[in-house]
Amino acid sequence: MVSEAAKVEVQNVSRWYGDVVAVNDISFTLEPGITGLLGPNGAGKSTMLHMISGFLRPSVGVISVLGATSWRNPEMFRSVGLVPERESVYPFLGARAFAEASARLHGLPDPEDAAGRAIARVELEDAQDRPMGGYSKGMRQRAKIAAALVHDPEVLVLDEPFNGTDPRQRLQLMEMLRRMASEGCTVLFSSHILEEVERLAENVLVIVNGRLAASGDFRQIRRLMTDRPHTFELRTSDNRALAAALVGLPHVSAVELTDSRLDVRTTDFGAFTAAIAGAVRDSGVTLQQLRPADESLESVFSYLVGS
């Protein structure tokens, strides 16, 4: 049973292109507040967001936004705002005129006023009358956001909204989204950058290879991510002697000797890094190299989907 507060509801949704599966059996619900959709490039984040905003038909499954199916339902946009990922804008319009056109297309009673407020929210007043063709990436991003929230949407969907923004703009946009969320707006944004999601989202959905890999409270997931087994590669003067010593440590789950290398698997990143120096000294070998084998974000993600 879905709670009353659910604004967006995704049920067993899959989407494939020919024989490529982009989104694979994903279900979740969104409530007011900020949710981050996190995943590496090509994970299916955009596909998911496009389906939620009615620009892609789910191959199977149901998506409802504010109680109605999103596919083939333009009326939904009365209370939904979308910031697409594509950078292109109408080059001949200024941000103000762009937001105003958006307000008029929404049929708002006072489009000038609505556009003015939206531009103020993204702090783009300085450049509001210059044609957007000459904008920087960050300015375009903000102009797009202004146009998307001109009608005070209940649900705001943003595809990679921080692309091209500088750190200061990013903070400012985050602050704005937080304020909207505190006013009861349901914000869903995608990002492939862990830190962005960490700083903004209280709730997180992790998508890897089209599947939902994790969801829920961010801190909880972050802990799960760091507590996974880690692999280190070592080169020493005597691999075998060190291997013997390491096997004795409680958090070392496996050691493997290859031609010139010693691979060590540990269940506790912190404890292992603290203990390794002592173990090396005690066994009397010389450590020539020590490095983690899999520290990329992608490897964290693939750990989460268990591959």
Partner 1 sequence: MAQAEPTPGAGAAGTIYDLGYQGYDGPRRGRRYALWSLYVLSVRNAFGIGRGALPKVMAFVLLLFAHSLAIIQLILGAVLPVDEFEFVSPEDYYGLIQFILVLFVAAIASDIVGNDRRTNTLALYFSRPIERDDYALAKIAALCSGLLALTVLPQLLMFAGNALGASDGLDWVRDNADELPRIIASGVLLCLAFGSLGVLIASYAERRAFAMISVIAIFLVSFTVVGVVVSEIDNDQMRWAIFLSPLHVVDGSTHYIFDALPAVDELSRRGEPADQVAWADFPGYVWPFALLATSVVASALVVRRYRGSV
Partner 2 sequence: MTLTLLSLTAHQLLGRRRAILIALLALIPVGVALLIRFAGDLGSEPQYGTAADTIGGFVFLLLLPIGALVFGTSALGSEVEDGTVVYLLAHPIARWRVVVVKAVVASGATMLLTAPASLLTAVIILGGFDEESLWWAATVATLVGSIVYSTLFVGLSTVTSRALIIGLIYVFVWEAFITNLFSGTRWVSVREYVEGTADALTTAAPVTAKLEGQEAAIASVVVVAASLVVGTWFLTRFEIGERA
| Binding test (CB under 8 A) with partner 1, winner from 241, 245, 290, 305 | 290
Residue among 98 and 218 whose Cβ is closer to partner 2: 98
| Residue 22 interacts with, from partner 1, partner 2, none (CB under 5-8 Å by kind) | partner 2
| Residue 288 interacts with, from partner 1, partner 2, none (CB under 5-8 Å by kind) | partner 1
| Residue 222 interacts with, from partner 1, partner 2, none (CB under 5-8 Å by kind) | none
DSSP 151-186: T--SEEEESSTTTT--HHHHHHHHHHHHHHHHTT-E
| Binding test (CB under 8 A) with partner 1, winner from 69, 182, 226, 288 | 288
Stretch 88-117 residues interacting with partner 2 (CB under 8 A)? 88-90, 92-93, 101-102, 104-107
Long-range own/partner contacts, residues 109-118 (CB < 8 A, 24 or more apart): 114/150, 114/151, 115/146, 115/150, 117/150, 118/146, 118/147, 118/149, 118/150
| Binding test (CB under 8 A) with partner 1, winner from 289, 293, 295, 296 | 289
Closest CA to 6 of 76, 68, 88: 68
R_g (Cα) of the chain, nearest Å: 24
* Residue 240 makes contact with partner 2 by CB under 8 A: no
| Binding test (CB under 8 A) with partner 2, winner from 147, 180, 187, 207 | 147
Q: How far apart are CA 176 and CA 189, in angstroms?
A: 13
* Residue 81 makes contact with partner 2 by CB under 8 A: yes
Please, what's the b/e burial string for 248-265 (b: 16 or more CB within 10 A of its CB; e: otherwise)? ebebbeebeeeeeebbbb
Residues near partner 2 (CB under 8 A) are 17, 20, 22, 50, 53, 55-57, 72, 74-78, 80-82, 84, 86, 88-90, 92-93, 101-102, 104-107, 144, 147-148
